[in-house]
């Protein structure tokens, strides 16, 4: 009896860890960013590079982050100080991670704002149509209106702040865990509907038949940046989550499962969207608007579609909330543990900063439409700098730190839980990748993609 409960406790807890890590990984990166970037960058070729990037670069960095977090059991800055045997300021990676969190949250909260606004639009039913004109004008009216964009974003930030202040994060995570399977089922249903559309074959071909002519260095960098973004890597989120991992948790196995499940959700989103894009005459390269235009079109094809569309946007909001909470955890925990602020104060300061910084992203498509830096509007700039520069750079440094500075012995000891987990062969491969392959590859892709050579 006692033994049983210990075993069950162990299992459910290790499932809990998997679910929480997945909760951070699966979010708008899967439902919104992945489809639109795949569409804008030529489809299957991009997908292939993305998958390669997750395997060669994403998985090792994820394993390194979680392993270091578990070994140090602290926020990223303190963790890097604790694990560092020397004096070099590796803890600065934690500071850069915090900056990345602010940049990402600034535009992420605006996309979540669109999702929240679409819940209301879904309820009133006005967007339930497969007509391109209706879809374009609904989305255009929302992002073109500064008041709506700003108010929805501040509502989202206040909502997330409320969750954190009330200390119901655990409850929300519990809820996310329960609701994610429903989102999965809805996506499956959408795929079924989409695959029955007239031009389903064209959509699938676009997603699965690579055309290598569309691939440039910039596209490879975008795919790699997406891998970091989608798996929440390079900025300390996974390190922070690692600090909550149990010692007997097999990290490489968990990382592989997270990557596979995350890819699965993205593929389902892609299969739900691209057949509809071709059937209803949307543009695959429509950019950030893609999901908001095609999903209602697919729902308009089935009985009960109105209700299901409402459920879909609510669930997308839930998934996004889970990812946002994990993003916010990094600055909040740093302010709390490093500057000695209480958690509520750290939360309020984070939210206040985001209301200011984030408003530039809410106003990007209206009042600030003319403002361009390096040819990019502020929304795209924040996205570009975080995904294509800060996260990969964080990845390089974390890989180098884990592989060379922290060192093979300590790494092996931590990943195998002092030799009690039999994952030595995997650990050797991961360490090799972390030392010789991932940092070089990321650096090359970054420099080439940024046109440095």
Closest CA to 126 of 312, 300, 318, 302: 300
Nearest distance in Å: CB 296, ligand PHE? 21
- Between 269 and 421, whose beta carbon lies closer to ligand PHE? 269
User: Does residue 97 touch ligand PHE according to CB under 6 A?
Assistant: no
At 442, is the secondary structure helix, strand, or coil? Answer: helix
User: Which is closer to ligand PHE, CB of 26 or CB of 204?
Assistant: 26
Is residue 263 close enough to count as binding ligand PHE by CB under 6 A? no
Min dist CB 237 to ligand PHE, Å, is: 4
Alpha helices in 145-168, H assignment, sequence order: 146-165
Tokens of 97: 């991670």
Q: Return the residues of window 219-238 that contact ligand PHE according to CB under 6 A.
A: 229-230, 232, 235, 237
Kindly tell me which residue out of 323, 355, 381, 399 binds ligand PHE, with binding defined by CB under 6 A.
323
The residues near 436 (Cβ < 8 Å, ≥ 6 apart) are: none
Q: Is 96 in the site for ligand PHE (CB under 6 A)?
A: no
| Binder among 20, 21, 24, 310 for ligand PHE (CB under 6 A) | 24
Sign of CA dihedral 316, 150, 375, 99: negative
Work out whether 270 is an interface residue with ligand PHE (CB under 6 A): no
Smallest gap from residue 24 Cβ to ligand PHE (A): 5
Q: How far is the CB of 200 from ligand PHE (least distance, A)?
A: 26
CB proximity list for 186: less than 8 A, separation 6 or greater = 308, 311, 312, 315
CA distance to 40, 107, 264, 288, per residue, from 140 (Å): 19, 17, 30, 11
CB of 48 to ligand PHE, least distance (A): 20
Q: Is 30 in the site for ligand PHE (CB under 6 A)?
A: yes
25 binds ligand PHE (CB under 6 A): yes
Helices (H) and strands (E) in the chain — how many of each? 22, 0
Nearer to ligand PHE, 163 or 200 (CB): 163
Residue 135 CB neighbour total at 10 angstroms: 23
Task: Give the integer Cα–Cα distance in Å for 320 and 423.
Answer: 33
CB of 269 to ligand PHE, least distance (A): 11
Q: Which residues bind ligand PHE (CB under 6 A)?
A: 24-25, 27-30, 104, 229-230, 232, 235, 237, 323, 326-327
């Amino acid at each position: 009896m006692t033994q049983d409960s210990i075993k069950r406790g162990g299992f459910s807890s290790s499932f809990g860890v998997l679910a929480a890590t997945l909760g951070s990984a699966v979010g708008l990166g899967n439902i919104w960013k992945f489809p639109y970037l795949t569409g804008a960058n030529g489809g299957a070729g991009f997908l292939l590079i993305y998958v390669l990037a997750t395997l060669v670069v994403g998985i090792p960095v994820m394993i390194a982050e979680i392993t270091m977090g578990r070994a140090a059991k602290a926020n990223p800055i303190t963790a890097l100080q604790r694990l560092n045997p020397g004096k070099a300021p590796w803890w600065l990676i934690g500071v850069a991670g915090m900056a990345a969190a602010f940049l990402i949250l600034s535009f992420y909260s605006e996309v979540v704002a669109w999702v929240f606004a679409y819940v209301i639009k879904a309820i009133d039913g006005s967007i339930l149509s497969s007509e391109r004109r209706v879809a374009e004008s609904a989305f255009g009216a929302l992002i073109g209106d500064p008041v709506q964009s700003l108010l929805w974003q501040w509502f989202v930030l206040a909502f997330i702040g409320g969750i954190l202040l009330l200390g119901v994060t655990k409850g929300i995570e519990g809820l996310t865990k329960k609701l994610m399977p429903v989102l999965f089922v809805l996506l499956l249903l959408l795929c079924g509907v989409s695959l029955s559309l007239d031009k389903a074959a064209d959509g699938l071909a676009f997603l699965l038949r690579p055309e290598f002519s569309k691939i440039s260095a910039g596209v490879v960098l975008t795919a790699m940046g997406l891998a970091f973004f989608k798996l929440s890597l390079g900025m300390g989120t996974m390190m922070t989550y690692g600090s909550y991992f149990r010692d007997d948790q097999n990290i490489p196995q968990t990382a592989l499962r997270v990557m596979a499940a995350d890819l699965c959700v993205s593929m389902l989103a892609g299969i739900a969207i691209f057949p509809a894009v071709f059937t209803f005459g949307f543009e695959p390269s429509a950019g950030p608007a893609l999901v908001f235009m095609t999903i209602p079109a697919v729902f308009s094809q089935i009985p009960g579609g109105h209700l299901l569309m409402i459920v879909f946007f609510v669930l997308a909001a839930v998934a996004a909330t889970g990812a946002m909470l994990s993003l916010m955890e990094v600055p909040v925990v740093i302010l709390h543990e490093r500057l000695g602020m209480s958690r509520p104060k750290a939360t309020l300061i984070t939210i206040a900063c985001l209301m200011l910084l984030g408003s530039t992203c809410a106003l990007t498509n209206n009042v600030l439409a003319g403002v361009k830096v390096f040819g990019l509007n502020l929304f795209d700039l924040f996205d570009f700098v975080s995904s294509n520069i800060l996260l990969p750079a964080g990845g390089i440094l974390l890989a180098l730190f884990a592989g060379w500075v922290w060192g093979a012995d300590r790494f092996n000891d931590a990943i195998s839980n002092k030799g009690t987990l039999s994952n030595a062969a995997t650990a050797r491969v991961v360490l090799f990748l972390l030392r010789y392959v991932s940092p070089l590859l990321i650096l090359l892709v970054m420099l080439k993609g940024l046109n440095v050579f």
